[in-house]
Amino acid sequence: MSHARSEPNDFKAQAPDAYDIVAALGQAAAKAGIDKQLLELVKLRASQINGCAFCVQYHILQAESLGIAADKLNLLVVWREAPLFSARERAALAWTEALTLLTQGVGDEVYAQAAAEFSGKELAYLSSAIASINVWNRLGVAYRRSPPARKNPATPTAS
C-alpha cells in the first residue's frame, strides 16, 4: 500500500456525529469501571486480528502509558501459549476473538468462560468496547490511517 487515504481528523471533520457516537461507545466500558489495562489488551488484540496498523500502534502506546509490561504486549498475539495472562484476561481475550471473528460464531464454552469472569453488566460493557474497536479498525483499514509516531522513539541497537 502506498499511502494513507485519510487520517483520523479527516473522519472527525467529515462525520463528527458518527465519530462522537463511536468514541462514546468506546469510552463507556472504562466509565463503567472496566479495568483500563484490560480494555487496552482487548483493543490491541482485536486490532491485531483486523490488521489495523494505526490501531495496533495506538493501543500499544496507550498500553505502555498505563504500565502494561512489554512482555505482555509482545506475547498478546500468542496469549493462549503465554502464562502471563490472568484468567480474567484470558476470558476477555477469548471473548474479543469470538466477537471479532463472528463468522465462527460465539461458542458456549467461550461464553461460559466470559460469564464466569464477568458479571452480566461487565460483559455488556466489555462487548461494547469490542464493538467499538472493531468499528475503528474497519475505518482504519479502509482509510489506511498512518500509525501514530512515538513521541520519544527508542534508540536502535545493533544486533
Domain ranges in the chain are: 10-142
pTM of the model: 0.89
pLDDT digits (tens, 9 = 90+) for 17-69: 999 999 999 999 999 999 999 999 999 999 999 999 999 999 999 999 999 99
Residue 146 pLDDT: 83
Angle in degrees, CA 25, 28, 33, rounded to 5: 160
Percent of the chain scoring above 70 in pLDDT: 90
Please determine, looking at this structure, whether the domain spanning 10-142 carries the CATH number 3.10.180.10: no
77 touches 107 (CB < 8 A) = no
Q: How many beta carbons lie within 10 A of that of residue 125, not counting itself? A: 20
Q: Which residues of 10-20 are buried (b: 16+ CB within 10 A; e: fewer)?
A: ebeeeeeeebe
Phi and psi angles of residue 41, each rounded to the nearest 5 degrees, phi first: -60, -45
